[in-house]
């Protein structure tokens, strides 16, 4: 819609003033300001040295006969408020109703995008802190794919480094290395190994030897390490499935994968004089990075003892993604503590020339999940909350909720919707907040049927399906019916339905998932108003009844698609 309006107004500006100018079309904030606004006149006034009101009035006159517009009003200091014609809106919606993509055209310039998310660590259980990367990352993947990009999911598993020498040595010494173990067994072993490593210097030395053995491919060490990776991947996959993500085991490319590339990275950076030696370590000095003392703060890529660092692996991974996977946009989702790390890696990639201006590098930092006390969300005994436990609790709570609401559902039906409601609510709570911010985790709020929650949106969908069931409506036949818009409630709902494509594109570009949540919430609220004010099944005018059913169907489909893009399912009843 924005594009259509942009073209129309742009043409008008050009024919009045002979200049190319973006008309700056926006949704109007309130119905009295029209449906859309054109905000270009203020900017153009500087260029033309004319009063913005005069500019807006002149363009308005030019647009007067445009068939899409009901009326235009110029408002101070120079806005043009655009009121769309109901018949024109109806015609566009009729077209959208026959389209599986609901009016969202694929973008003109698709890219290959790597999304680096769900970055768990091998041999460690996932905890609540991991949920954000998985949920936000998966929604980003879905959106980018839907608008037409080629998306390559990469989960950058922590599967390499000193900690594995430590853990494997500990398992061998305990005699546990060759038995079957699960990831939850490994958690305590891991903690014990760490304690021994810190307290016992002989053990620490043996652990270091074990790292060397791992790196040089010693068969016993490698086979234990492989077992750890395999068990962990299977465990992560269960969680990914429970969370309805798109991730598969093929998306895992752990740090170990890049190990062989690291010496080449160091050599190349040294040859190009980008990396230098400093106190025996190999470092890269980057403009603009200073330590707390104001001194230049370099990025270390090889330690004095020859060991590589997290940053070295990220340089190699970016090189692989750009040159081998042929990605032109790299998106990383981690918590905000890694901001500096990525800023430095990106700066180094630019300096190196691996990422020229045509490559978009984006780190999406996210805030923490807080408990009711506004501190990082922990169990009562102060342990971090295991993700698996959190997911199980979501389902239990959703079951209780569904039971309290609609007792006409059978036990089997209840169980089948419990997953979609519980997990949906959990994911939505994560998505609806601006991702940079911390958010407070609150079961009662996120599972409420009131407010900006997944159950509220799922409930709006259910209500529409209930109308169709009650009226015994053939939904497919609705999609070719005429739409007639008469009342204010119909008009606002219709304009909002029309806006879906703009929202989908802007969210996919800005990765502002919470704006899609806000849009869907607004849509569901407007539907409730429409439902209160506009009789549907009881309407004796067949054409109006059909049109209202069509508007309901479009609302349901956009809710379903919008939630699907966020990785959340709708249910038919609850
Ligand atoms: N495994 C890392 C961690 O747990 C996150 C990896 C993020 N991705 C990356 N390419 N560095 O902190």
DSSP 8-state code for residue 552: H
CB 156 near ligand 1, within 6 Å: yes
The Cα 515–Cα 517 span in angstroms is 5
The ligand 1 atom nearest the CA atom of 332: 8
CB 424 near ligand 1, within 6 Å: no
Distances in whole angstroms, Cα of residue 285 to Cα of each of 263, 280, 281, 360: 19, 15, 12, 22
Residue nearest to atom 9 of ligand 1 (CA): 156
Distances in whole angstroms, Cα of residue 405 to Cα of each of 148, 179, 401, 448, 449: 40, 48, 6, 11, 10
pLDDT at 154: 98
pLDDT at 162: 86
The ligand 1 atom nearest the CA atom of 310: 11
Q: For the chain, which domains are there?
A: 2-84 (3.30.1360.70), 162-246 (no CATH), 387-565 (1.10.730.10)
Q: What's the pLDDT tens digit per position in 224-239?
A: 999 999 999 999 999 9
DSSP 8-state code for residue 448: -
The Cα 117–Cα 130 span in angstroms is 10
The ligand 1 atom nearest the CA atom of 317: 10
Digits of tens for pLDDT over the chain (574 positions)?
Answer: 898 999 999 999 999 999 999 999 999 888 888 999 999 999 999 989 999 999 999 999 999 899 999 999 999 999 999 999 999 999 999 999 999 999 999 999 999 999 999 989 999 889 988 999 999 999 999 999 999 999 999 999 999 988 899 999 999 999 988 888 888 888 889 889 999 999 999 999 999 999 989 988 999 999 999 999 999 999 999 999 999 999 999 999 999 999 999 999 999 999 999 999 999 999 999 999 988 888 889 999 999 988 899 999 999 999 999 999 999 999 999 999 999 999 999 999 999 999 999 999 999 999 989 988 888 888 878 888 999 999 999 999 999 888 887 678 888 888 889 999 999 999 999 999 988 888 898 999 999 999 999 999 999 999 999 999 999 999 999 999 999 999 999 999 999 999 999 999 999 999 999 999 999 999 999 999 999 999 999 999 999 999 999 999 999 999 999 999 999 999 998 8
Matching residue, tokens 């609705």: 478
Length of the chain: 574
CB 127 near ligand 1, within 6 Å: no
The pTM of this model reads: 0.94
pLDDT at 376: 85
CB 155 near ligand 1, within 6 Å: no
- Of residues 357, 348, 328, 222, the one with CA closest to residue 282: 348
DSSP 8-state code for residue 293: T
CB 159 near ligand 1, within 6 Å: no
The 3-state DSSP class for residue 121 equals strand
pLDDT at 387: 93
């Amino acid at each position: 819609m924005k594009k259509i309006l942009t073209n129309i107004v742009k043409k008008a500006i050009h024919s009045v003033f002979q200049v190319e100018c973006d008309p700056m079309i926006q949704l109007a904030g309130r119905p009295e300001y029209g449906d859309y606004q054109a905000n270009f006149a203020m900017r153009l006034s500087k260029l033309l040295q004319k009063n913005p009101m005069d500019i807006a009035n002149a363009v308005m006159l030019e647009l007067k006969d445009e068939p899409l517009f009901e009326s235009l009003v110029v408002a101070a200091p120079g806005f043009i408020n655009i009121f769309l014609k109901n018949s024109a809106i109806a015609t566009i919606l009729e077209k959208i109703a026959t389209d599986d993509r609901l009016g969202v055209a694929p973008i003109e310039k698709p890219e290959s995008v790597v999304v680096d998310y769900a970055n768990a660590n091998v041999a460690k259980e996932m905890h609540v802190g991991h949920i954000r990367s998985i949920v936000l990352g998966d929604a980003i993947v879905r959106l980018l794919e839907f608008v037409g990009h080629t998306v390559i999911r990469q989960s950058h598993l922590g599967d390499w480094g000193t900690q594995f020498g430590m853990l494997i040595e500990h398992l061998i010494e305990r005699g546990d290395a060759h038995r079957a173990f699960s990831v939850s067994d490994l958690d305590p072993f891991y903690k014990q190994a760490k304690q021994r490593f810190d307290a016992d210097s002989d053990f620490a030395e043996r652990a270091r030897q074990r790292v060397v053995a791992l790196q040089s491919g010693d068969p016993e060490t490698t086979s234990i390490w492989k077992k750890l990776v395999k068990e962990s991947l299977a465990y992560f996959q269960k969680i990914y499935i429970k969370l309805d993500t798109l991730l598969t085991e093929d998306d895992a490319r752990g740090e170990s994968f890049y190990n062989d590339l690291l010496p080449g990275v160091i050599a190349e950076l040294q040859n190009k004089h980008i990396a230098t030696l400093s106190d025996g370590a190999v470092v890269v000095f980057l403009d603009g990075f200073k330590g707390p003392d104001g001194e230049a703060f370099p990025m270390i890529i090889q330690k004095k003892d020859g060991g590589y660092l997290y940053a070295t692996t990220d340089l190699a991974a970016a090189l692989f993604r750009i040159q081998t996977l042929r990605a032109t946009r790299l998106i990383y989702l981690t918590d905000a503590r890694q901001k500096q790390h990525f800023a430095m890696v990106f700066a180094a990639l630019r300096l190196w020339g691996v990422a020229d201006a045509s490559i978009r590098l984006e780190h999406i930092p996210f805030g923490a999940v807080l408990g009711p006390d506004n501190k990082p969300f922990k169990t009562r005994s102060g342990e971090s909350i295991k993700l698996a436990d959190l997911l199980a609790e979501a389902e239990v709570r959703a079951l209780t909720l569904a039971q309290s609401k609609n007792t006409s559902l059978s036990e089997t039906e209840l169980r089948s919707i419990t997953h979609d409601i519980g997990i949906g609510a959990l994911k939505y709570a994560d998505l609806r907040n601006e991702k940079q911010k911390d958010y407070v985790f609150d079961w009662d709020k996120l599972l409420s049927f009131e407010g900006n929650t997944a159950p509220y949106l799922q409930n709006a969908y259910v209500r529409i399906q209930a109308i169709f069931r009650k009226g015994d409506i053939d939904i497919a036949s609705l999609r070719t019916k005429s739409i007639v818009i008469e009342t204010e409630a119909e008009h606002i709902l219709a304009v909002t339905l029309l806006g879906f494509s703009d929202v989908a594109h802007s969210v996919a570009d800005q990765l502002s998932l919470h704006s899609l949540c806000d849009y869907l919430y607004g849509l569901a609220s407007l539907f409730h108003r429409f439902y209160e004010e506009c009789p549907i099944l009881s309407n004796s005018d067949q054409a109006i009844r059909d049109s209202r059913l069509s508007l309901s169907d479009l609302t349901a489909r956009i809710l379903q698609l919008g939630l699907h893009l966020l990785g959340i399912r709708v249910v038919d009843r609850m």
